[in-house]
Amino acid sequence: MLSTSICATAEAYHLVIWVHSWYDGFVPAMRHRKERIYVAKQSIWKKVCRRNGLHPKKEKVINGKAYTYYEARYTVGIDPGTGKQIQKSISGKTQREVTRRLKEITTSIDTGTYLPSCKLTVGEWLNTWISEYTADWKPLTVSNYSKQIKKHLIPRLGAAKLEDLDTHTIQLFYNSLTKSGLAPKTVKNIHGVLHAALEQAISNGYIHKNPTAGCKLPKVVRPEIKPLEPEEIARMLKEAKKDAYDNLFTVAMFTGMRQGELLGLSWDNVNFKTGQITIKQQLQCKDGVYFLETPKSGKCRVLSPAPVVMEALKDEQQQQNANKQIVGAAWENKWNLAFTDALGKNLVRRTVVEHFKAVIERANIPSDVRFHDLRHSFAVTSLYSGDDVKTVQANLGHATAQFTLDVYGHVTQKMRQESAMRMQAFYNHLEV
């Protein structure tokens, strides 16, 4: 019994010794092996990094503070001048981030959709765009766009990087404009400026897509059209005979010309023989300086108005000739305009509006009727007189017949209803 116990104790002793021996030998060996494996992994990682353009952890000290980051390099092409590879780099806080971005870039390079990083801010691009890409635009349009850029776009979006601009950011910007009280039409105009600028940025290869495309704009409610009734037109024309601008009001009423087109009408574009008027230009003003430019549509159009229009123009020409004889050398009409003041100078919009307001007041017409409503009155009268939409479109200078229908849809709807009633009356008289 004793010997058995001694043997068991001896075996246990040897086991303890073996365990100690294993721990003293194996564990350090494994620790050493792990260290070697770790070093090997680091070495492999460095080789992979060098092969794929990804560099291990780097440190940079800025103002005494150490910053850790990872960097990757990639090749975008060959410099045609030197024949050397063109390399770019990206960096990030983690290996995963840098690896993900590197994969996206290399994929875009392989598929031909790669765009080099754009360092421009939105403000820098907007200023470049308005100064370099609008040379063939109308001066007034450029001026209006510049005002929108300076007043709204740059203060809110100018500091953002062009390539970082996204739909959500722009949507929040539009929403803030609406909340601030800007009219939906104004917000839409601002959107139009930004959209056009970003479309050019796409063409230049600065961005892939236009982030404004997905934005929701406030609904623009078209202002109610207030054409004059036939009785009101008659009273207006009667009172206009007492005004110095009576011929201008008559021509406006029976041609539908825009105010700028009327004030920019030249005698060179009035053909009394054929009874036609060619609309080639309009009078505009920028910073107090008047100038002539192409019509709003950008295209000229030819009108064949009612004889009353040509009679009004003949009368205006006679009055001009009389004034010219009176003032002599003081006469100024450098553009040979059909409508001028007593000295031959171009008429001012504000003055025309003031005279029109005086006329409609004497004619007992609601004060909210605008000079532009003469154009609407002409269109409505034309439609009721039986002119087709294409003819009205051509006379007004609208880009499409659809636009004419959109503006005067309520008129055409009423005409269809009246047509249906006439057809019903016809049916009622049939002996069926």
The model's pLDDT over 329-353, given as tens digits with 9 standing for 90+, comes to 999 999 999 999 999 999 999 999 9
Please report whether residue 431 resides in a domain: no
Residues 205 and 237 in one domain: no
Q: Are residues 191 and 276 in the same domain?
A: no
The answer to whether 207 and 201 have CB atoms below 8 angstroms apart is: yes
CATH of the domain at 262: 1.10.443.10
346 burial type by CB count under 10 A (0-12 exposed, 13-18 middle, 19+ buried): buried
Residue the block writes with tokens 């100064």? 131
235 occurs within a structural domain = yes
Residue with tokens 């400026």: 193
Give domain status of residue 187, yes or no: yes
CB 185 within 8 A of CB 217: no
Most confident stretch, 78-87, 310-319, 387-396 = 310-319
According to the model, what pLDDT value does residue 94 have? Answer: 82
Q: How far apart are CA 279 and CA 259, in angstroms?
A: 12
Q: Is residue 382 part of a domain?
A: yes
Pairing state between β 65-78 and 301-303: unpaired
Whether residue 331 sits in one domain with residue 307:
yes
Of 390, 419, 418, 417, nearest in space to 405 by CA: 390
Res 421: pLDDT:
84
Q: Cβ(265)–Cβ(337) under 8 Å? A: yes
Position 79 scores a pLDDT of 67
User: What helix, strand, coil percent values describe the chain, rounded to 5?
Assistant: 60, 15, 30
Domain-embedded: residue 428: no
Vertex 37, ends 32 and 43: CA angle to 5°? Answer: 130
Q: For residues 344 and 285, state if they share a domain.
A: yes
- Residue 225 in domain: no
pLDDT digit string, tens, across residues 192-245: 999 999 999 988 888 888 999 999 999 988 777 888 999 999 999 999 999 999
Residue 427 lies in a domain: no
Sign of the four-CA dihedral 129, 132, 134, 140: positive
* Strand 270-271 to 85-92 pairing: unpaired
Q: In angstroms, rounded to a whole number, what is the distance separating the alpha carbons of residues 206 and 117? A: 8
Task: Give the CA count within 13 Å in the CB-facing half-sphere of 298.
Answer: 6
Name the more confident of 4 and 175.
175
**Among the listed ranges 13-17, 98-102, 299-303, 394-398, which one has the minimum average pLDDT value?**
13-17
Region 289-296: mean pLDDT is 90
Crossing angle of helices 409-428 and 373-384, in 10° steps, is 20
The span from the CA of 253 to the CA of 183, in Å, is: 30
Please tell me which residue, 2 or 199, carries the higher pLDDT value. Answer: 199
The answer on 30 and 109 residing in a single domain is: no
Q: How many domains does the chain have?
A: 4
User: Taking 90 as the threshold, does the pLDDT of residue 299 lie above it?
Assistant: no
At 14 the pLDDT is 46
Q: Among residues 210, 193, 194, 248, which one has the least CA distance to residue 374?
A: 248
pLDDT 10s digits, 242-286:
999 999 999 999 999 999 999 999 999 999 999 999 999 999 988
Confidence of residue 304 (pLDDT cuts 50, 70, 90): very high
The DSSP bridge partners found for residue 286 are: 289
Q: The domain spanning residue 161 has which CATH number?
A: 1.10.150.130
Q: How confident is the prediction for the chain on average, in pLDDT?
A: 83
CA distance 357 to 236: 10
40 pLDDT band (50/70/90 cuts)?
very low
Pair 76, 101 in one domain? yes
If you average pLDDT over residues 383-397, what whole number do you get? 89
Residue 97 lies in a domain: yes
420 vs 358: which has the higher pLDDT:
358
Quote the tokens at residue 386. 């039986």
413 in the same domain as 372: yes
pLDDT of residue 54: 56
Phi, psi of 125 (to 5 degrees): -65, -45
User: Are 350 and 248 found together in one domain?
Assistant: yes
Both 198 and 311 in one domain: the answer is: no
What range does the domain containing 150 cover? 122-214
Please tell me whether residues 236 and 265 are part of one structural domain: yes
